Structure 1
Amino acid sequence: MKRFFQSGIVAGLMCCFLNAGAQKDMRALIRKDEAFAASQYKLLMKNVPADKMPQNYDPAKDQLVASATDWWTSGFYPGTLWLIYKATKDPQILAEAKKRLVLEEPIQYYTGNHDIGFMIFCSFGNAYAITKDPRYKKVILTAAETATKRYKPGMKAIQSWNKSKKFNAPVIIDNMMNLELLEWASRNGGSKRLAEIAENHANTTLKNHFRPDGSSYHAVDYDTATGAVLKKVTHQGYADESAWARGQAWGLYGYTMMYRFTKKPEYLAQAHKIAAFILNHPNLPKDKVPYWDFNAPDIPDAPRDVSAAAVMASALLELAQYSNQKQKAAYIADAAIMIRSMSARYKSQPGGSKGFILTQSVGHLPGKSEVNVSLSYADYYYMEALERYKEWILK
């Protein structure tokens, strides 16, 4: 018995030692990648036109694509700059971050689609969190009110895209991410109605978007008057019944975030269910960086989607904070594998990719758009994952 007890102590001490060593390595990785991000983005800021935001870099064409601020990804570049500045306190990064907010500010009134949350909260939200500048807060509150103009009471959801030949009133799983703008604004000077709309949307999505195994469709089309479901499709995935990787990541992040604000157990339960689908899926590679679709027919030769891994890693680190000890340890371990994989195998060469941080993301493969490219939102969620790991796990 004594020998068994002593062996247990030794095993426990060895576990602690290994964990401490792993944490030291992760601390060094984060420090290194924060410095790398600053160096890359100083290059990126030289390559981007003054009136546009970086969207992607295609290595096959050696081409950087920039977008106008009304493109859905426009907020990620300034948002990433703010995350890099928070980590490094680099004055050049700060100056560029402030300059880009001036360009993005008119988007607070944008009603063309649902993505004002990505555009404004990822940019101005981070800026306000770091600086507490009341001007930034005012933009956020205005944008939240603007977002409600797309809310359809009959659907109890925010319409994502406008009516088209293919859709009547589509709601996409990505829209869960934009609810953070409404929830935050409701609790920071905005009306309670903002949170009510966000929760109605989350409830409608919970009811209609998910399959029994926890995976989700990309888009659900509605009748705006009655809320009846017209069809369910996976527009950016392999097939309607397949599990598009980034769509699963949006759902995981979205319901984890909604639990943060509301503490509603059904949101937390859904986040755990999505996490289980992702992490236990037989087609998830050992490095935890998913193929662009979990059901892609050409696995293992299918393209990976690093942007999905970045979103998943960040989401898992938050979900770990609301989990029991066993789940917490597992989520942190899986997020760490994703982070280490992205850092080791999916990072740009120094001075490469026109300044983007990560490589090998997929935007819309069926549309033959942005396949195996660097994407602005992959960089953003990678930097957010590094920040969360540093602040929550290494604290």
Structure 2
Amino acid sequence: MKKPILIASLALLAFGCSQKQEQLDIDKQLEYCVAQATKTLDLIPDDSSMIPRNVPHGTAEWTFVIYKDWTSGFWPGILWYLYEATGDAKWKDEAVHFTNYLKPLSEMSAINHDLGFQVFCSAGNGYRLTGNGEDKTMVLKSADTLATLYNPLAGTILSWPEHKHDFQHNTIIDNMINLELLFWASKNGGDPALYDLAVNHAETTMENHFREDFSAYHVIQYDTITGQRVKGITHQGFADETMWARGQAWAIYGFTMVYRETNDPKFLAFAQKVTDVYLERLPEDMIPFWDFDAPNIPNEPKDASAAAITASALLELSLYVDSADKAEAYRSAAEKMLLALSSEKYMSKDQNTAFLLHSTGHHPNGTEIDASIIYADYYYLEALLRLKKLKSNEPIIDTDYKIVNANNAK
């Protein structure tokens, strides 16, 4: 089982030590994001709380959603990141407006498992940048709500509570990202028990959610009564045993974040394992097809969102690994992904007002295929900001908020 990972690691070292790559003009890309987001704001009626979710393939019109949609936190998160990038109060005002629209999520019972995406990307960034107490309260309340979905028998948070079955406890790989909400709350005035809950979820996921090659299942079904693992399946990948690209990206990002929050070396080791299998199988242009095992590659849709998520995660992971060569390989891979996403092929430009083209949401369901999707834009912008800070030797994540940006943070 170790041999494929060894091969992947050697390939990474060679990749990282290849000839000097083209440099990304980060400021230019940030200016592009500002321009595109400005156009999107102009499309939203004044005083409206409609939240952009996607631009379907072949159109220029945004599909808008309400605050209950699982993607609702990404647009206000983008606005907060633009405020961070520019210091322009315009973006802060817009971010506050859309973040406040999501406040009911912190005041109602859990309607889905994605409160981290919804609330931490919005109010979490708002509190980080402004210290607004209402944002902090929103985060803490939402963490308590998310915790109500935890099943101690299974050791994981329930996914899709609206589709709960008596004897079936579903947990999806995406849930790894929502753990950040729990970790932060446990360290910033919330219930300290949220920390253990998040660790238990990560440990159970590490044990049950992956194949021998460290590729992730989309969904693991647990028996609600016994808590035992039943089987692994997919909803958004090609088949149960294939490697769905965005699911693997969530794993890379999630376990990197869990190591940051726990400082437990087993999570760092695992983050590298789920990363290496992804990088080993990437096509030459560094942007994955929507599923690594889709049957008609290279004539399958790409998923720019998976590339953006992974690029952001790799910039952080590169800070933690002990090997200087591997750290450089991860950072180099992230920069190549961002270069590809910043190319004419992947930038939306005049086609629509999103940042990126060519993401795939739910291929088996026939939705958001080869589209512009809001979470691709969010993680692309996050990755640009992280890379800019990294190149300036600044913390990529604020010390008093999440982590410090240096290898001596270990």
Using structure 2 for the length normalisation, give the TM-score.
Answer: 0.87
**Superposition deviation, residue 127 in structure 1:** 1.1
**Superposition deviation, residue 68 in structure 1:** 1.0
Determine the C-alpha separation between the residues in 2 that align with 1:139 and 1:30. Answer: 32
Determine the C-alpha separation between the residues in 1 that align with 2:40 and 2:61. Answer: 12
Matched ranges for 1:232-247 at <5 A: 232-247=232-247
Q: Match for 2:41 among 39, 45, 51?
A: 45
Q: Counterpart of 2:312?
A: 314
Determine the C-alpha separation between the residues in 2 that align with 1:234 and 1:279. Answer: 21
Mean Cα displacement is larger for which, 140-149 or 156-165? Answer: 156-165
Mean Cα displacement is larger for which, 38-47 or 174-183? Answer: 38-47
- Structure 1 residue ranges without an equivalent (≥5): 1-15
- Please say if residues 245 and 293 of structure 1, whose CA atoms lie closer than 8 Å, have aligned partners that are also in contact: yes
- Please say if residues 57 and 63 of structure 1, whose CA atoms lie closer than 8 Å, have aligned partners that are also in contact: yes
- Please say if residues 215 and 243 of structure 1, whose CA atoms lie closer than 8 Å, have aligned partners that are also in contact: yes
Query: Deviation string for 1:170-222 (max 9, x for gaps)?
Result: 00000000000000111111121111110111111111100110101000111
**Superposition deviation, residue 363 in structure 1:** 0.3
Q: Give the letter aligned to residue 267 of structure 2.
A: Y
Determine the C-alpha separation between the residues in 1 that align with 2:348 and 2:253. Answer: 29
Query: Deviation string for 1:136-185 (max 9, x for gaps)?
Result: 11111111111101111111111011245798220000000000000011
Mean Cα displacement is larger for which, 224-233 or 324-333? Answer: 224-233
Determine the C-alpha separation between the residues in 1 that align with 2:148 and 2:254. Answer: 21
Q: Does 1:359 align with 2:366?
A: no
Determine the C-alpha separation between the residues in 2 that align with 1:352 and 1:117. Answer: 31
Matched ranges for 1:1-395 at <5 A: 25-26=23-24, 29-48=25-44, 50-110=48-108, 111-162=110-161, 163=163, 168-281=168-281, 284-323=282-321, 324-353=323-352, 355-395=353-393
Determine the C-alpha separation between the residues in 2 that align with 1:244 and 1:48. Answer: 33
- Please say if residues 55 and 65 of structure 1, whose CA atoms lie closer than 8 Å, have aligned partners that are also in contact: yes
Change (3 A) 1:240 1:345: farther
Change (3 A) 1:167 1:30: farther
Determine the C-alpha separation between the residues in 2 that align with 1:297 and 1:334. Answer: 26
Query: Deviation string for 1:27-71 (max 9, x for gaps)?
Result: xx2101111111111111122351321110013243311111101
Determine the C-alpha separation between the residues in 2 that align with 1:266 and 1:376. Answer: 32
Change (3 A) 1:95 1:248: same
**Superposition deviation, residue 352 in structure 1:** 3.6
- Please say if residues 319 and 331 of structure 1, whose CA atoms lie closer than 8 Å, have aligned partners that are also in contact: yes
Determine the C-alpha separation between the residues in 2 that align with 1:369 and 1:167. Answer: 29
Q: Give the letter aligned to residue 86 of structure 1.
A: E
- Structure 2 residue ranges without an equivalent (≥5): 1-16, 394-410
Q: Counterpart of 1:9?
A: none
- Please say if residues 40 and 351 of structure 1, whose CA atoms lie closer than 8 Å, have aligned partners that are also in contact: no
Q: CA RMSD in A?
A: 1.9
Query: Deviation string for 1:112-147 (max 9, x for gaps)?
Result: 111000000011111111111222111111111111
**Superposition deviation, residue 90 in structure 1:** 2.5
**Superposition deviation, residue 345 in structure 1:** 3.7
**Superposition deviation, residue 349 in structure 1:** 4.2
Determine the C-alpha separation between the residues in 2 that align with 1:135 and 1:373. Answer: 35
- Please say if residues 238 and 294 of structure 2, whose CA atoms lie closer than 8 Å, have aligned partners that are also in contact: yes
- Please say if residues 155 and 224 of structure 1, whose CA atoms lie closer than 8 Å, have aligned partners that are also in contact: yes
Query: Deviation string for 1:280-318 (max 9, x for gaps)?
Result: 11xx21121100000011101111000000000001111
Q: Give the letter aligned to residue 319 of structure 1.
A: L
- SS, match of residue 27 in structure 2: helix
Q: Give the letter aligned to residue 274 of structure 2.
A: I
Determine the C-alpha separation between the residues in 1 that align with 2:214 and 2:160. Answer: 24
- Please say if residues 306 and 346 of structure 1, whose CA atoms lie closer than 8 Å, have aligned partners that are also in contact: no
Determine the C-alpha separation between the residues in 2 that align with 1:53 and 1:256. Answer: 29
- Please say if residues 117 and 179 of structure 1, whose CA atoms lie closer than 8 Å, have aligned partners that are also in contact: yes
Give identity over the alignment, percent. Answer: 42
The total of aligned residue pairs comes to 372
- Please say if residues 310 and 334 of structure 2, whose CA atoms lie closer than 8 Å, have aligned partners that are also in contact: yes
**Superposition deviation, residue 348 in structure 1:** 3.5
Determine the C-alpha separation between the residues in 1 that align with 2:165 and 2:196. Answer: 31
**Superposition deviation, residue 240 in structure 1:** 0.3
Mean Cα displacement is larger for which, 143-152 or 88-97? Answer: 88-97
Determine the C-alpha separation between the residues in 1 that align with 2:61 and 2:157. Answer: 35
- Please say if residues 148 and 194 of structure 1, whose CA atoms lie closer than 8 Å, have aligned partners that are also in contact: yes
Change (3 A) 1:231 1:109: farther
Change (3 A) 1:244 1:166: farther
**Superposition deviation, residue 336 in structure 1:** 0.5
Q: Between Structure 1 and Structure 2, which shows a larger proportion of helix residues?
A: 1
- Please say if residues 167 and 221 of structure 1, whose CA atoms lie closer than 8 Å, have aligned partners that are also in contact: no
Q: Give the letter aligned to residue 300 of structure 2.
A: A
- Please say if residues 43 and 351 of structure 1, whose CA atoms lie closer than 8 Å, have aligned partners that are also in contact: no
- Please say if residues 38 and 93 of structure 1, whose CA atoms lie closer than 8 Å, have aligned partners that are also in contact: no
- Please say if residues 167 and 225 of structure 2, whose CA atoms lie closer than 8 Å, have aligned partners that are also in contact: no
Change (3 A) 1:240 1:63: same
Query: Deviation string for 1:209-250 (max 9, x for gaps)?
Result: 001101010001111221112221021001100000000000
Q: Counterpart of 2:406?
A: none
Change (3 A) 1:133 1:346: farther
